[in-house]
Amino acid sequence: MAGQSPSRRELIQAFALASAASVFPNFTRWACAQGQTHGSAATASRGYKPLFFTAQEYETVELLAELILPATHHSVVNDQGIARLERQPGASDAGVPEFIDFMVFTDREQQAPFRQGLAWMDRSAAPAPRFANLSAAAQSAALERLAYKAKQRSDEQEAQQFFRLFRRYTVMGFYTTEIGLKALDFPGLTFYGSSPGCTHGDNPEHSGL
């Protein structure tokens, strides 16, 4: 879905949560910015056992996270002018579903809103038995109805609130991973062979800075 880039406030909150999560011994599958490199989070998630959500709820969590921040492809042109498609990782690649499960597991105040919101998603899919059983087009349409003011319904305010909450956790989870930080061109991930020189050559004493 469009318009899912994080705000500065969301990033600050996300880094605070990531710091707290990094000391939890059972929280190892989320590819957080601590620098995990042993395999992708998407591969690890296939064997992940949710701490809070039921298996059925967690399947919906995975689906919603990927719908909000899907993997995409864009064209990249190299120095020889040759274009190729490059894959941009999505929420599942970054381990966002694991992040959401962990955060809800450790925050009792969020447990009821998440459980009720996921139940609403399944009920709203009728006559399909669950949200996960809808077609991809129907799933996207359902989320657009919750996300965009022009399409929102007055009788779905609680569901709209749940979507905002879920989106916030998805964004926070994604942009505190190495994958998400690379998407933001975060300078802390840049390796310099030597220390960059001062950019104030005409003011070496940095007067007035």
Which mean pLDDT values do the consecutive 10-residue runs of the chain (209 residues) have? Answer: 57 64 56 45 64 95 94 73 77 88 91 97 95 95 93 94 94 77 53 49 56
Which three-class secondary structure state does DSSP give residue 204?
Answer: coil
In sequence order, what are the residues at sequence separation of 6 or more whose Cβ sits closer than 8 angstroms to the Cβ of residue 206? Answer: 200
Residue 180 lies in a domain: yes
User: How many separate domains does the chain show?
Assistant: 1
Q: Please, which residues have CB within 8 angstroms of residue 158's CB and are 6 or more apart in sequence?
A: 116, 117, 120
Residue 195 lies in a domain: no
Strand, helix or coil for residue 156: helix
Q: Please list the alpha-helical segments (H only) found in the chain.
A: 8-21, 41-45, 55-68, 91-94, 96-105, 108-123, 136-147, 157-174, 178-183
Please state the pTM of the whole predicted model.
Answer: 0.70
pLDDT of residue 87: 76
CA pair distance 94, 6, nearest whole angstrom: 15
Phi, psi of 138 (to 5 degrees): -70, -35
Residue 207 lies in a domain: no
Asked whether residue 34 is domain-assigned, the answer is yes
The answer to whether residue 41 is domain-embedded is yes
Domain assignment present for 200: no
Q: Is residue 45 part of a domain?
A: yes
Which structural domain range is residue 126 located in? Answer: 8-189
Q: What is the pLDDT of residue 47?
A: 74
Within a domain: 197: no
Q: How far apart are CA 175 and CA 15, in angstroms?
A: 9
